[in-house]
Amino acid sequence: MKKKFADLSELVMFQHSVFSLPFIFIAMLVAAKGWFGWQLLLLGTLAAVSARNYAMGVNRYLDRDIDILNPRTKSRPSVDGRVSATQMLWFILANAVAFIVVAYFINTLALELSLPILVVLGAYTYFKRFSALAHLILGISLGLAPIAGEVAVSGTISWWSIYLATGVMFWVAGFDLLYSLQDMEFDKEQGLHSIPSKFGARKTMWIARAFHLFAVTFWTLFVIEAKLELFAVFAIVFAAIMLIYEHYLVSKDFTKIDRAFFTVNGYLGFVFLTFIILEVM
């Protein structure tokens, strides 16, 4: 059982939950204008984790034919036999049901949005088979987190959460572009659609920079619309500095992509969350 749990954790790369969790909590804090309670903390965490597990499960299940051909991914549990196709389907179903049940306990709007959200989360895998916009679809998937955070607290969707979500979308799409540079040649060989395979490394890096500039811009609009002050401004400044550092790492050496992807982006969300906590508390 312990080994199977470890295999499933590796399957969905559970540690990458750090990318979406901070932003759902940021939205919840801003919507509540402070602490939103232990019950919503638990429900918000369960919703975010089950949604991400579902999305990654769908991705791994549908990408088996691609992953087995890619030297970088052929050792994934979904490919090497550690997690069977049947087990993946049960895992996907269990997390989809868990997400809907959690949404039911949050509020009516959350329940109404649960199925459309699952559709969006499952769409990413298909997009890269016919459109280079797949990077933005991934961004939208994670960008739903702050909107869900406001819905959980207030049962409404405001412009500030849309701005925050749009910033998250461009942030995720930008670092996914950098991460996709590793598979640029493989995508070309397999006829997969990605911005790196279509435009090359140099143009991709410029597009990623533009996406991250958009991210900072929309996060600034979020701060203005939510009427936040000094600590929220610090959050934007530090996020911008970390994104600049990320691009510096990748531009100097493509072997630093993992460090830029995991370390810098992982810390960015938590730094942002820390400043928002200081702001609203």
pLDDT tens digit string along 126-143?
Answer: 777 777 788 898 899 999
**For range 177-189, the mean pLDDT:** 81
Cβ-based neighbours of 100, under 8 Å, separated by 6 or more: 111, 114, 115, 118
Structure letter (DSSP) for residue 155:
S
DSSP, collapsed to helix, strand or coil, labels residue 189 as helix
Identify which of 182, 169, 96, 93 has the alpha carbon closest to the alpha carbon of residue 134. 169
Q: Which residue has the higher pLDDT, 254 or 189?
A: 189
| Backbone torsions φ then ψ of 141, nearest 5 degrees | -55, -45
Supply the pLDDT for residue 14.
Answer: 61
Q: Which of 7-11, 26-30, 32-36, 88-92 has the lowest mean pLDDT?
A: 7-11
Supply the pLDDT for residue 130.
Answer: 77
Supply the pLDDT for residue 97.
Answer: 97
Reported as a pLDDT band with limits 50, 70 and 90, residue 125 is confident
Flag whether pLDDT at 191 surpasses 80. no
pLDDT tens digit string along 215-266?
Answer: 999 999 999 999 999 999 999 999 999 999 888 888 876 655 666 666 788 8
According to the CATH classification, is domain 2-280 in 1.10.357.140? yes
**For range 145-152, the mean pLDDT:** 95
Identify which of 213, 125, 131 has the alpha carbon closest to the alpha carbon of residue 171. 213
Flag whether pLDDT at 165 surpasses 70. yes
**In the predicted model, what is the mean pLDDT of the chain?**
87
